[in-house]
Amino acid sequence: MGESILQLKDVAVFQGENLVLNDISLEIKKGEFVYLIGKTGSGKSSFMKTLYGDLPLKQGSGHIVDFDLTTLKEKEIPYLRRKLGVVFQDFKLLPDRNVNNNLLFVLKATGWKDQSEMNAKIEDVLDKVGMKTKGFKFPHELSGGEQQRIAIARALLNDPDLILADEPTGNLDPQTSVEVMKVLQDINKTGRTILMATHDYALLLKYPSKTLKCDGNKVFEVIQRAI
């Protein structure tokens, strides 16, 4: 396997003063598809938040997509997030504008200027998630699965090295979950690295892959059979 996209050594994760996870050492390589599993409250979200700079890394050392999490400055966080695509459970689409303008908003916020380049990029990411014809729809006109596809398209806008998907199928029915999962699989096949937090074990069985588990204040790799 190739280069390391995420490397943590002796990391502890804190939510405020509370220690959530302790003694984490792990590595994710470029091109891997990795699940993060664990019960609600086991620290999955805190772990994800530490990776995208929402919670500071106070103990241990961590590198993610060429950024040192230990020394990460407030002003560097937007640049870190450009190299990460983050997909949330609740889509976080802006309700007052259509799909194209949701995506345009992100591009402008991350420094894109040229209108024709922006239009081409939007068309490209919508095509990748099978939503090419839905650019003029508003979020409320789309199903949950379609909204999540748009959220994935949004995560792809700045060609991220790593996509962090935090329970991306958490609000979706089983059939739609599988459709969204297929989209993520296709994106992974193009060489993008994906870390997906989930408690949907049906997906793990259907699409087995490297799995990390959050349990008892630890994060460790589990062998698929042992889940």
Q: Classify residue 31: in a domain, yes or no.
A: yes
Q: Is residue 122 part of a domain?
A: no
CB 151 within 8 A of CB 165: no
* Domain assignment present for 117: no
Please indicate, yes or no, if residue 81 is contained in any of the structural domains.
Answer: yes
Q: Name the pLDDT band for 16 (thresholds 50, 70, 90).
A: confident
* 49 pLDDT above the threshold of 70: yes
What rounded mean pLDDT belongs to the chain?
Answer: 92
| pLDDT for 224 | 63
> pLDDT by residue (tens digit) across 1-12?
469 999 999 999
Is residue 112 a part of any domain in this protein?
Answer: no
The answer to whether residue 8 is domain-embedded is: yes
Q: Specify the pLDDT at position 160.
A: 93
- Show the domain range for 170: 4-93+162-226
Residues 3 and 29: beta-carbon distance below 8 Å? yes
Structure confidence at residue 96 as a pLDDT band (50, 70, 90): very high
Token pair 């019960």: residue: 39
Asked if residue 199 is part of any domain, the answer here is: yes
As for how many domains the chain has, the answer is 1
Q: Indicate if the pLDDT at residue 100 is higher than 60.
A: yes
Determine, yes or no, domain membership for 74: yes
* Per-residue confidence band for 136, with pLDDT thresholds at 50, 70 and 90: very high
Kindly give the pairing relationship between strand 59-64 and strand 4-15: antiparallel
CATH number for 178: 3.40.50.300
With a CB cutoff of 8 Å and minimum separation 6, the contacts of 22 are 12, 13, 217, 218
Q: How many helices (H) and strands (E) does the chain have?
A: 7, 10
Mean pLDDT value across residues 97-106: 96
- As a whole number of angstroms, the distance between CA 203 and CA 124 comes to 27
Cα 166 to its chain centre, rounded Å, is 6
